[in-house]
Amino acid sequence: MHGDEPARLDVDTLRRVLEQQRQRAAQRDEDLFLIRVDVPASLRARGIPPHARPRLRQPCRVGDDRMAARLLSRGGLALLPLEIGRVHDVEGHVATIPSGPMARLTYPRAAEPRPAALPPAERTVGQLVAESIRIYGERFVRCLAIGVPPAALALVTAHVSRNVTLLLAPTLYGAALSASYVAACVLVLERRPATRRLVLAWAAGWLAFAPVPFLVLAFVLPGLAWLAAVGLVVPVLVVEETSARRAFARAWQLARAGYVHVLGSLATLAIVVFLTQSVLAFILRGAGGTAVSTAFVLANVVISPLLFVGAALLYVDQSARVE
């Protein structure tokens, strides 16, 4: 039989595989057509498929059998996709291993009060960071002004050479960071001293921040250790009526009351600010399509105040430990 000829009396009624022009199928004749034969799938890999029975069982429920062929083979059936079949009800089993009821997780309700915070003398590093975030959130708009000087420094650093940066580090950088620290102390400690005291605190903070950029070049930890030792001089001058010389001695006294707490708090705040600021900058860069320098400036304005707020809050903790 030839594929281009009509099928008349030459059709084999027994549905055997036909040969074209007395040629075998192995000769790859393009007009040889074979009909698809459905067979049941095997239950598992390398298994023998079950024999398809001539008719279905007599079960309980009727439904459209639209299951996978692998599931059909478990019942010993070979069904067409739209053939209607029935399945038997399966009786459920009880738990074989006795066990008590599991306790469900409980979460505090929104109306429930938060647990009382520890007093400043017993406050941990994590609670200090949490308290700093709380104060920052309550005074968000006023805290944004604290982040303007660090953001300006980040913008300047991106457009000057390394030699110019080393020259500006103890001068412009120290003065700008000291101004942000004084503003944070006034905001957190809720003190408004005279302008003369604010200028004295700013000058003392400038002196404390001056060697930090050079200590950070060696490693970050020496810079944090130096700030933990003398950095509290700014809140001391904002709160207490004392001279600049005695203020440095008072700052060292406060630091010795819990130096590990001060150092750990500053390190934790620095890590949190750095990571959060980096993530926010990349989000602004990717989602907003802003420039890299603009993204980092905006991230500095929003995130950097948290570092100064936490440093000002350290004065409260250390004063309580000394007393």
Mean pLDDT of 285-311: 84
| pLDDT tens digits, one per residue of 206-235 | 999 888 878 877 677 888 899 999 999 999
What is the reported pLDDT for 63? 43
What is the reported pLDDT for 121? 83
pLDDT score of 16 more than 70: no
Beta strands 61-64 and 84-87 are antiparallel
Confidence of residue 268 (pLDDT cuts 50, 70, 90): very high
What is the reported pLDDT for 84? 47
What is the reported pLDDT for 162? 82
Mean pLDDT of 9-20: 50
Query: In Å, what is the CA distance from 16 to each residue of 6, 19, 28, 55, 70?
Result: 18, 9, 18, 24, 29
pLDDT score of 7 more than 70: no
Instruction: Give the single-character DSSP code of 146.
Output: G
Residue 321, burial from CB neighbour count under 10 angstroms (0-12, 13-18, 19+): middle
Residue 64's DSSP bridge partners are: 84
What is the reported pLDDT for 81? 45
What is the reported pLDDT for 213? 79
| pLDDT tens digits, one per residue of 84-104 | 445 555 555 555 555 555 556
pLDDT score of 68 more than 80: no
Q: Which has more pLDDT, 65 or 197? A: 197
Integer Cα distance of 201 and 244 in angstroms: 8
pLDDT score of 77 more than 50: no
Integer Cα distance of 200 and 196 in angstroms: 6
Query: In Å, what is the CA distance from 33 to each residue of 5, 28, 37, 296?
Result: 13, 11, 13, 69
pLDDT score of 244 more than 70: yes
What contacts 225, CB < 8 A, 6 or more positions away?
263
Query: In Å, what is the CA distance from 71 to each residue of 35, 55, 92, 223?
Result: 25, 18, 19, 68
pLDDT score of 264 more than 90: yes
- Domain segments of the chain as ranges: 1-30, 36-81, 120-322
How does DSSP assign 47-107, residue by residue? PPPPPPPSS----SEEEE----HHHHGGGT----TT-EEEE--------SS--PPPPPP--
| pLDDT tens digits, one per residue of 130-152 | 999 999 999 999 999 999 999 99
Mean pLDDT of 51-68: 47
Integer Cα distance of 270 and 228 in angstroms: 12
With helix as H, strand as E and coil as C, how does 171-188 read? HHHHHHHHHHHHHHHHHH
Percentage above 90 pLDDT, the chain: 36
Residue 61's DSSP bridge partners are: 87
Report the range of poorest mean pLDDT among 42-46, 115-119, 125-129.
Answer: 42-46
| Cα-trace Rg, the chain | 39
What is the reported pLDDT for 56? 46
